[in-house]
Amino acid sequence: MKNIKIETIDDYIAAQPLEKRASLEKFRIIIQKAAPKATEVISYGMPAFKQEGILVYFAAFKNHYGFFPTASPIIVFKKELLPYKTSKGAIQFPAEKPLPVKLIQAIVKYRIAQNKEKAAFKTGKK
Protein backbone atom coordinates (compact mmCIF):
# COMPACT_ATOMS: atom_id res chain seq x y z
CA MET A 1 0.00 0.00 0.00
CA LYS A 2 0.98 3.60 -0.50
CA ASN A 3 2.32 5.73 2.35
CA ILE A 4 -1.18 6.71 3.43
CA LYS A 5 -2.30 6.63 7.03
CA ILE A 6 -5.22 4.21 7.08
CA GLU A 7 -7.80 5.55 9.54
CA THR A 8 -11.08 4.59 7.88
CA ILE A 9 -12.43 1.86 5.61
CA ASP A 10 -12.62 4.50 2.86
CA ASP A 11 -8.85 5.08 3.32
CA TYR A 12 -8.19 1.33 3.17
CA ILE A 13 -10.21 0.85 -0.02
CA ALA A 14 -8.64 3.92 -1.68
CA ALA A 15 -5.16 2.55 -0.93
CA GLN A 16 -5.88 -0.76 -2.72
CA PRO A 17 -5.26 -1.49 -6.40
CA LEU A 18 -8.11 -0.26 -8.60
CA GLU A 19 -9.21 -3.79 -9.53
CA LYS A 20 -9.78 -4.68 -5.84
CA ARG A 21 -11.84 -1.64 -4.83
CA ALA A 22 -15.27 -2.66 -6.16
CA SER A 23 -15.15 -6.04 -4.41
CA LEU A 24 -13.97 -4.44 -1.17
CA GLU A 25 -16.85 -1.95 -1.33
CA LYS A 26 -19.24 -4.83 -1.99
CA PHE A 27 -17.80 -6.70 1.01
CA ARG A 28 -18.42 -3.61 3.13
CA ILE A 29 -22.03 -3.27 1.93
CA ILE A 30 -22.74 -6.98 2.54
CA ILE A 31 -21.54 -6.62 6.14
CA GLN A 32 -23.39 -3.31 6.67
CA LYS A 33 -26.67 -4.90 5.56
CA ALA A 34 -26.19 -7.83 7.95
CA ALA A 35 -25.06 -5.58 10.82
CA PRO A 36 -26.74 -2.18 10.40
CA LYS A 37 -25.94 -1.15 14.00
CA ALA A 38 -22.24 -2.01 13.72
CA THR A 39 -19.51 0.61 13.68
CA GLU A 40 -16.76 0.64 11.07
CA VAL A 41 -13.20 0.65 12.41
CA ILE A 42 -9.68 -0.12 11.30
CA SER A 43 -8.09 -2.75 13.53
CA TYR A 44 -4.76 -4.49 12.92
CA GLY A 45 -4.57 -2.43 9.70
CA MET A 46 -7.73 -4.02 8.31
CA PRO A 47 -11.33 -2.92 7.89
CA ALA A 48 -13.48 -4.29 10.70
CA PHE A 49 -16.97 -3.96 12.09
CA LYS A 50 -17.68 -3.63 15.80
CA GLN A 51 -20.86 -4.30 17.75
CA GLU A 52 -20.35 -5.24 21.39
CA GLY A 53 -16.80 -6.11 20.36
CA ILE A 54 -15.24 -6.87 16.99
CA LEU A 55 -17.58 -8.82 14.70
CA VAL A 56 -15.46 -9.44 11.61
CA TYR A 57 -12.47 -8.17 9.64
CA PHE A 58 -11.91 -8.28 5.89
CA ALA A 59 -8.96 -7.47 3.65
CA ALA A 60 -7.61 -7.68 0.12
CA PHE A 61 -4.72 -9.94 -0.82
CA LYS A 62 -3.08 -10.71 -4.15
CA ASN A 63 -5.36 -13.60 -5.20
CA HIS A 64 -8.14 -13.56 -2.62
CA TYR A 65 -10.14 -11.59 -0.12
CA GLY A 66 -9.64 -12.54 3.49
CA PHE A 67 -12.60 -12.70 5.85
CA PHE A 68 -11.79 -13.03 9.53
CA PRO A 69 -14.85 -13.87 11.66
CA THR A 70 -12.90 -15.48 14.56
CA ALA A 71 -12.64 -19.24 15.06
CA SER A 72 -16.11 -20.51 15.98
CA PRO A 73 -17.92 -19.56 12.72
CA ILE A 74 -15.34 -21.62 10.82
CA ILE A 75 -16.58 -24.65 12.77
CA VAL A 76 -20.29 -23.75 12.77
CA PHE A 77 -20.35 -23.05 9.00
CA LYS A 78 -17.89 -25.84 8.13
CA LYS A 79 -20.19 -27.44 5.52
CA GLU A 80 -20.94 -24.13 3.76
CA LEU A 81 -17.24 -23.25 3.80
CA LEU A 82 -16.07 -26.47 2.08
CA PRO A 83 -15.49 -24.70 -1.28
CA TYR A 84 -13.14 -22.19 0.38
CA LYS A 85 -9.71 -22.33 1.96
CA THR A 86 -10.02 -21.80 5.71
CA SER A 87 -7.80 -21.73 8.77
CA LYS A 88 -8.53 -21.32 12.48
CA GLY A 89 -10.11 -17.86 12.16
CA ALA A 90 -9.90 -17.00 8.48
CA ILE A 91 -11.67 -17.68 5.20
CA GLN A 92 -10.24 -17.02 1.74
CA PHE A 93 -12.64 -16.03 -1.02
CA PRO A 94 -10.96 -16.27 -4.47
CA ALA A 95 -10.59 -12.84 -6.09
CA GLU A 96 -11.85 -14.10 -9.46
CA LYS A 97 -15.19 -15.38 -8.08
CA PRO A 98 -18.21 -13.45 -6.77
CA LEU A 99 -18.40 -12.99 -3.02
CA PRO A 100 -20.87 -15.42 -1.35
CA VAL A 101 -23.31 -12.77 -0.09
CA LYS A 102 -25.70 -15.00 1.87
CA LEU A 103 -22.86 -16.90 3.54
CA ILE A 104 -21.06 -13.72 4.60
CA GLN A 105 -24.29 -12.27 5.99
CA ALA A 106 -25.12 -15.47 7.87
CA ILE A 107 -21.66 -15.46 9.47
CA VAL A 108 -21.96 -11.79 10.43
CA LYS A 109 -25.39 -12.38 12.00
CA TYR A 110 -23.96 -15.35 13.90
CA ARG A 111 -21.16 -13.13 15.21
CA ILE A 112 -23.69 -10.46 16.30
CA ALA A 113 -25.55 -13.09 18.33
CA GLN A 114 -22.28 -14.37 19.79
CA ASN A 115 -21.14 -10.90 20.86
CA LYS A 116 -24.57 -10.10 22.29
CA GLU A 117 -24.54 -13.30 24.34
CA LYS A 118 -21.01 -12.62 25.57
CA ALA A 119 -21.91 -9.04 26.53
CA ALA A 120 -25.03 -10.22 28.40
CA PHE A 121 -22.99 -12.83 30.25
CA LYS A 122 -20.43 -10.19 31.30
CA THR A 123 -23.18 -7.95 32.68
CA GLY A 124 -24.97 -10.85 34.37
CA LYS A 125 -27.99 -10.82 32.03
CA LYS A 126 -27.79 -14.46 30.94
Domain parsing of the chain, residue ranges: 9-122
Question: β-pairing, 39-43 with 46-50?
Answer: antiparallel
- CA distances, 64 to each of 4, 34, 48, 119 (Å): 22, 22, 17, 33
Q: What is the pLDDT of residues 29-42, one digit of tens each?
A: 999 999 999 999 99
pTM listed for this prediction: 0.91
Distance CA 76, CA 39 (A): 24
Distance CA 15, CA 99 (A): 21
- Judge: domain 9-122, CATH 3.90.1150.200: yes
Q: What is the pLDDT of residues 86-113, one digit of tens each?
A: 999 999 999 999 999 999 999 999 999 9
Q: What is the CA radius of gyration of the chain?
A: 15
pLDDT confidence of residue 14: 95
Distance CA 12, CA 31 (A): 16
Q: What is the pLDDT of residues 5-32, one digit of tens each?
A: 899 999 999 999 999 999 999 999 999 9
Handedness of CA 70, 32, 59, 22 (dihedral sign): positive
Distance CA 121, CA 60 (A): 34
